[in-house]
Amino acid sequence: MRIVAGAATDVGQVRSLNEDSVLMSATVFAVADGMGGHRGGEVASSLALETLARSFVQPDSNALIHAVQAANAAVYAHAGSHPEVAGMGTTVVAVGVVRRDGLDRLTVVNIGDSRAYLANASGLHQLSEDHSLVEALVREGRLTEEQAAAHPQRNVVTRALGIEARVAVDAWELTPSSGDRLLLCSDGLFNELGPDEIAHLLGSEPDPQRAVDALVAAANSRGARDNVSAVVMHVLDATTPSDLEPSFTRLTAPVSDLGLTEDTAPVPRVVSPPPVPAAGDATAAHPAPDASLPVAPGPVTADPDASIVGVPHQVLAVPSEPVPGAVAGPIVPPAPLRRRFPWRIAAFVIALMVIVGAAGGAVVYAARSAYYVKLDRGEVVVFKGRPGGLLWFDPTVDTRTGIRAASIPTQLQNAELSRAGGHPAGSRQEALDYVQQLESDIANTTTTTSTTSTTVPPATSTLTTDTTTTVLGP
């Protein structure tokens, strides 16, 4: 079997971060739509596809299913050991080239609401089943397809990689025909474009890379409220015997057939606020291809016509029938899984610092806002602080008044000046007012005492009577 393929991923028109990843290799193709916010979704989708590519080593359907389960375990373990991305998850839809009965076939697997479509002469067919809340309501007859498309909870998935330690994988086996086209895409594409438009764009452009670019560009023209990612696979030579009819067979039983139900607690997508993309987001550089790293994490690009790395697609062949010179398609090294400082921890640290700072400020205020006046070493002194100190804050001398204890009359040397707490004052001015009043009282008392202790002797007056004798003549 020979397959020619193209892939593209775009940040869209609303989001500032691309959490999608795409994968193209000789034997497996995939799209993952990460969720978790704060770069957790980007880590989840990249890690899932890296693990998927590394784990799928046998051209067998069971091997592909096990590779998806290995990807789930890797994301789950990483989230458990890195608190900054706890709760992250990702959808995945993948197609692997397998062999059975000596023939090449395609196995389709999916978890979440990223989709796989088949386009052939009979039209466009959705191969995968969405694991979403609205899809479950459609299956139960409680919503129509039209209502589901506009439902406010259409982005709530009920199954995703990395949320639980084990996950059920839906899988189908497809016997393709030459000329068949398969489309793998995230919900950012099919939420903007209807089935008819998708079928038209797939059929109107023979080149898979130009077809996938046209699909992404069309989604962007509609507003692209989410990241948009897609892989288009074109089967050039199916090598299917003429007497073998193409078929599409389910390999795993639906959850309901297993006596189970969809996860009782839906996994919500963490939708970040829709900021306007920064200028720097539109110029993210694309690293050079590296065949040893099969994952293509979503680069941010403002050009909807750009492919992942801007290089032509390649003809891909299964290992059983190698094509000379064939190489894997556009590949971008995965983003490094570096530790990040989440906003919740930052908020907690900031809140803790505010509380500690407020408590420290309150202690400082309580310790340093008070004043008192007392006798110290025979002098009246104004102290700042609490008598005896508070925690590590001891009182300090604010003003030495120069008033000696010896100058204070006995009646003014009352208990409050000599006791340990002295005379309390609510402020420095209040303490100085008390000192001024003390000086006035000392002065008044001294004056009164001087007046009282001075004795003025009574004045003595001597009255002298001058007696004159007048002799009258006869």
Q: What is the pLDDT of residue 343?
A: 58
Residues 353 and 302 in one domain: no
Is 463 a domain residue?
no
Q: What is the pLDDT of residue 161?
A: 95
Residues 300 and 267 in one domain: yes
Count the domains in the chain.
2
Residues 252 and 397 in one domain: no
Is 183 a domain residue?
yes
Residues 350 and 321 in one domain: no
Residues 101 and 156 in one domain: yes
* Residue 423: strand pairing partners: 373
* Both structure tokens of 207: 């080149």
312 vs 291: CA distance, rounded Å: 15
Mean pLDDT of 77-86: 92
Residues 265 and 389 in one domain: no
* Both structure tokens of 430: 């209040």
Is 470 a domain residue?
no
SS3 percent helix, strand, coil of the chain, rounded to 5, is 30, 25, 45
Q: Where are the beta strands (DSSP E) in 377-421?
A: 379-384, 396-404
Contacts of 349 (CB under 8 A, 6+ apart): none
Is 17 a domain residue?
yes
Of the listed ranges 59-73, 133-147, 202-216, the one predicted with least confidence: 133-147
Structural domain boundaries, residue 388: 346-451
Q: What is the pTM of this model?
A: 0.57
Of the listed ranges 6-15, 127-136, 261-270, 274-283, the one predicted with least confidence: 274-283
The last residue of one of the domains, among 340, 358, 377, is: 340
Contact 270, 210 (CB under 8 A): no
Residues 393 and 288 in one domain: no
Residue 351 banded pLDDT, cuts 50, 70, 90: confident
Contact 359, 351 (CB under 8 A): no
Is 331 a domain residue?
yes
Note the pLDDT tens digit of each residue in 191-204. Answer: 999 999 999 999 99
Is 462 a domain residue?
no
Residue 322 banded pLDDT, cuts 50, 70, 90: very low
* Cβ neighbours around 112 below 10 Å, total: 28
Residues 117 and 262 in one domain: yes
In the 8-state DSSP scheme, what is residue 426?
A: S
Q: Which of 351, 330, 349 is nearest to 341 (CA)?
A: 349
